[in-house]
Amino acid sequence: MRALVVYESSFGNTGMVAEAVWRGLADHVEDAALRRVDVAPTSLPPSLQLLVVGGPTQAFGMSRPSTRQDAQAKAGLPTTCPTTGVREWLHQLEPPNRPVYSATFDTRIHSPHVPGSAAVGAWRLLNKGGFELTAEAESFWVEGLKGPLRDGELDRAYTWGVSLSGLLLGAVRR
């Protein structure tokens, strides 16, 4: 595995963005993988060169158990199941012992009245954890709490994935 996209999603929108980012990467880089955060490894494979992490912005930042529970209730799902989010996963993630590129994204509501970004929070944790942050934290926009994504956001996510693949080209050209 050379590139890994890890994502969290309560209503599916961030999952769709993650898949588009992954497609952009996988179309240009061999061995790109996509994993939901609850099944993502916390010990990164030695071959990994790029880690991309994305999640929904909830309560002005990365989700917490309480905000995920709130989201589950809004989605009509049982709120008793334990959940893992990007925040918890990043805290468990083993620091790299070599340079690993990293980038973060989130989904959030496009409004000047709703501040905060999960991607910025994840960016800070990765930076503190010794990863090489290569891009500014990126946001993709949803129309409302449950989505949908704004028109064109999946294309933008794909293009962002392609641009991230450029970091690895040269070493990993198909």
Nearer to ligand FMN, 101 or 160 (CB): 160
The CB-of-28 to ligand FMN minimum distance in angstroms stands at 25
User: In the numeric block, which tokens belong to residue 171?
Assistant: 């070493």
Question: What single DSSP character describes residue 57?
Answer: -
Minimal distance in Å, beta carbon 152 to ligand FMN? 16
Q: Which is nearer to ligand FMN, 145 or 172 (CB)?
A: 145
Give the alpha-carbon dihedral of 126, 15, 20, 101, to 10 degrees.
Answer: 10
Task: Decide whether 14 or 102 has the Cβ nearer to ligand FMN.
Answer: 14
- Judged by the rule CB under 6 A, the positions of this chain that interact with ligand FMN are 9-15, 56-60, 67, 70-71, 74, 107-109, 114, 116, 142, 145, 147
Residue 136 DSSP symbol: -
> Other CB atoms closer than 10 Å to residue 174's CB: what's the count?
7
Nearer to ligand FMN, 1 or 64 (CB): 64
Report d(CA 47, CA 65) in Å as an integer.
32
- DSSP for residue 149: B
Q: How many CB atoms lie within 10 A of CB 28?
A: 20
Residue 140 Cβ vs ligand FMN, minimum distance, rounded to whole Å: 8
Closest approach, Cβ 174 to ligand FMN, in A, equals 30
